[in-house]
Each structure stands twice: as structure tokens, then as C-alpha cells.
Structure 1
């Protein structure tokens, strides 16, 4: 079973930060074969939603209050370790992240920049596409909002 916690950047241990960056790099850089600047100085503003299983970080998102990333509250860097995806942890951590935005920021409207191939995944969490497809780091993306 997955255990989920939310932490400010200053509350992360060095090992947690290292595991988060390793997981993000493993999926977004290596698996997706995409060279991009993951370390973007936005982690310091975010709340970090960390999913652990057997004391290892296997799922993660970062959430932002309105104005820190988009005008609306937002969720980003949604990631689940490849060998853990079959258990539905992506849905669990998204549900938790949506609830965390509501409880920490008292917000219901959430905007994300979603990889296009995950459109149905995000639609299952009541996000709808707004605007046209665009390229971000050479990967097709769409803006989506949950009202």
C-alpha cells in the first residue's frame, strides 16, 4: 500500500529530495527521452506530495497555490515509477493532490499542463482541455482545468 505525505521544500530531507529528483529524472528524462531543465527553482515554492511504498518514493506531484505557477492553483511533475503504475497509484496521488490544494490553499479551480497522451487520465479526475495542443520540451501538451 502507498503512504502519502505533503511537505514544504524546507521540510524535505536530503534523501527525500534526492529520491524525488531521481524519480523525476528516471521518468521525464530517461524513460521519455527528453532533455529538459527539471530543476527550475519552482520546487522551493511548491508543496511536495510524496507517495512512498516500503520506504521508497514511488509516486510524486508538486502543487502550487494560485499565482506561483499559473494564475490558478496547479499540480505538476505528476510521476509514478514505471514498475508501480499497474497498481493505480497515479490516480491515488492525483486524488490526494486535488484534496491537498483544497485543504492547504482553499481552492477548487486547478490548472495543469498535461502531456497529451494522458488526456483521458486527467479527464477521469474531472479536468477538461482548454485551448489547443502545444509543444513543451518537444512533447505534445494541453492545458487542462478542473473547475
Structure 2
């Protein structure tokens, strides 16, 4: 079973940064055919949760950061898994929620979910709080829960 690794950006090794970026590119850009600006500066201020396989490839990841316009809200983003149907994504999200709730002053958690994944996030207590909107051509909704 893949152990979940937690590191702030500046504690990541170059190989870990590469593995995370490659996994995000493979899922978001190639698989979902969605060219977008992945290098948005947010990684630098994020806590990264991820798993690696025996080859050093990233098999799941997400990032946590304080939502810029809401100082008491922790945002969860860039959630992916490359090992689907194994429960890995659920384990990662559960740990991400647990760690987000421990942020100093955290009152709520926020994420923007692709609409097909609403049920996945609902299992961790998230509720839809917006109308559907397009982000990079893909339908999304805002979701929130209390910390």
C-alpha cells in the first residue's frame, strides 16, 4: 500500500517535484485533453500530499493552501490519482481533509470539483455551494465543508 507523504514545497526533492508535475500533466493535460496553466505559483505556498510507487512515479497527489481571499479557509486542489479503483484517492482525500482541518485558524475547507467527482468529495462532507461553471472547458462546481 502506498504511504501518503506530506511535505511543504521547499522540502520536496527535485525528483518528487518532477513526479508530481508529471502525474498532473498526464491526468489533466493529456488524459483530459485540457491545456491549462499548471505552474500557477500556488505550489510554492502549498502543503503537498502524495504517494509514490516503487519506480518513484507519483500515483496520487493534492495540495493544500490558505485560500487567498479567505484567510480562514483552506483550499484543496490538484487532486488526482493514477491508480483508480484501489481506494487510494479516497485515502488521500481523507488525509488531506484531516490535515487541512489542523491548519491554524481553519474554519472551512473549499475546493472546485469537476462535476463528475461531486460524489467523491461528498463522502468527505463537502457540499455543492455554486452553480456549475466551466474552468478550462470542463464543468466544475464549488464545494465547501466546515473544518
TM-score (norm 2): 0.92
Report the Cα offset of residue 47 of structure 1. Answer: 0.5
Name the CA distance, whole Å, in 2 between partners of 1:125 and 1:14: 31
1:97 corresponds in structure 2 to 96
2:145 corresponds in structure 1 to 146
Name the CA distance, whole Å, in 1 between partners of 2:6 and 2:128: 27
The answer on 1:63 being equivalent to 2:64 is yes
**SS of residue matched to 2:125:** coil
Q: After TM superposition, where is structure 1 displaced by more than 4 Å over at least 4 residues in a row?
A: none
Q: Which runs of 5+ in 2 are unaligned?
A: none
2:123 corresponds in structure 1 to 124
1:48 corresponds in structure 2 to 48
**SS of residue matched to 1:87:** coil
1:17 corresponds in structure 2 to 17
- Count of residue pairs the alignment pairs up: 143
Q: Which runs of 5+ in 1 are unaligned?
A: none
- Deviation sequence 1:92-133 (CA, Å, 0-9, x none): 000000111122435251010110110111111110000200
Alignment of 1:103-122 (within 5 A): 103-105=102-104, 107-122=106-121
Indicate if the aligned counterparts of 1:63 and 1:75 stay in contact, CA closer than 8 A. Answer: yes
TM-score (norm 1): 0.92
